A and B are shown apart, each in its own frame.
Chain A
């Protein structure tokens, strides 16, 4: 009996050693010079991480998320979990409001002048007054992806999505704000409107469009357009270069009435343990050659003006990827959080459309 007890004790000891060894393995990584980066999945040219480590001697722990909503609760639970994060602009706003972010020290960002000031201005206007927290990384618009073989009109306006000629070959976004945005911009309203009259009008407009629409989808827009299943689709601009590569007949247009612009950008968490390294990371990402390589890999437009000299001239001259600053600063808006009541109002109206 006694031997049994000894044997059991031995087993337990062996077990705990294994577990501790496993824990210790991860514990060793907690050195001083470590930077924890939290980015979207597949959203960087991976070689750049190694180059950053080599240049600065900082060890990077790189982690990825798939949605803003997945990232947020982790940071909210413990904002020292990561040093630098890359959320979308509306999530940055929410994080600012909940005091999860550390103000940037712009003097540490030597490459800050590479940024296109038009984009900094619009960010400052809508999300981050005086650009205290966010350094844009990628940006884009919502526009119309169309198949040049199936569409012979000039696509430059949301109006074409109401053209009976294309009945049954139009793809709309199946998300409330994106769908309403199309109607709001077509009618010349703000995409953040909460005016009941305007919203009612938009709802009627979308209802009138309903019979012409082939499907309300989100991710499938890209694949259906590549397959040639539809002539026109509302889509995020980031998908354009990829789609064009798969199907050369596709083109993308930003409607002249304006549209939504979105940004993903770097922010530093409030309780970051290594803010200094975080600034170095952001500064590295701002370097023109780095931004250009990221653009080549991700194919989402970069807000880095200086990177343009490294980018293929054909792509650079494509107004769908690098639109005129004027249309951005004058016609485009970002989504703002409208409050619970207004969101419900949108949602109720959206149900009436479908």
Chain B
């Protein structure tokens, strides 16, 4: 009886994983299809070759990555500073600001994207790389705050004061006491911001200018003619990079164990 239960449990688990990964496996298989459509026409690396020859796709990939990296970095700095400010506030004021911070998280991307676009037009900024970057920073900041704030509140305030009493300068106390304490929150905030930016389509779509495409907007523009299998190839590479990254973080040396845990 117990064995049967065990087997059923495993079968169910297997089913869940099939459900999760079958689409990705399909995508990977089709990225090696000779033909353009859904009919299998033989194994070929042709789409990978096209992928590396296409300047458009190359630009889109580098835009996506640099925007994700820069916006996550900047948002992390802004977010951490805001958290310190919020922490210094007392009672009602802090709750009001925290609630305001949560609204962009719950707000639909469509509203955020459209309002950012209108704001940029109103200010008279020309659309381009910078508008996309600014937009991404603005929607990333709340995620950082959301991740850092709890760490900061958990932390014992007295440790920072103790450091000052023991003769540390405020900057030293900040980097040596406060930062290590909130680091896990900062890292998870950064990673969350990074993935949010990497994933985003709608907001980018509204705020991009001529010649700026991220991977998602490039794929979208190919809808009319059917999405090129090079995009399957690109997605395959991205998926495999994610797996490699995951494996690497999990077998990293013991020293960074605490960080990995919080990710």
Contacts and interface: CB of A to CB of B under 8 A. Distances in A.
Interface of A: 1, 3-4, 7-8, 11, 15, 18-19, 22-23, 25-27, 29, 36, 38, 40-43, 46, 49-50, 61-67, 77, 81-82, 222-223, 226-227, 242, 245-247, 298
B210 A46 contact: no
Contact of A81 (B78, B127, B129, B221): B127
B218 interface: yes
Contact of A41 (B35, B38, B133, B224): B224
B115 to A, nearest CB: 15
5 contacts: A7-B171, A63-B213, A67-B223, A245-B37, A246-B38
A283 to B, nearest CB: 21
B64 to A, nearest CB: 14
A81 B56 CA distance: 19
A22 B81 contact: no
Contact of A62 (B36, B56, B169): B56
B261 interface: no
B167 interface: no
Interface in B201-225: 209-213, 218, 220-225
Interface residues of B, number: 39
A11 B79 CA distance: 12
A67 B222 CA distance: 10
Given A3-B171, A4-B170, A245 B81 contact: no
Most chain A beta carbons < 10 A, residue from B35, B220, B228: B220
Given A63-B210, A226-B37, A242-B36, A41 B130 contact: no
Contact of A63 (B130, B169, B212, B224): B212
B133 A66 contact: no
- The 4 A-B pairs of least Cβ separation, nearest first, read A41-B221, A61-B211, A64-B221, A23-B130
A23 B35 CA distance: 41
B92 interface: no
Contacts of B39: 226, 246-247
Most chain B beta carbons < 10 A, residue from A36, A38, A62: A62
Contacts of B171: 3, 7
Nearest to A236: B224
Most chain A beta carbons < 10 A, residue from B121, B169, B224: B224
Given A7-B171, A64-B213, A246-B37, A42 B225 contact: yes
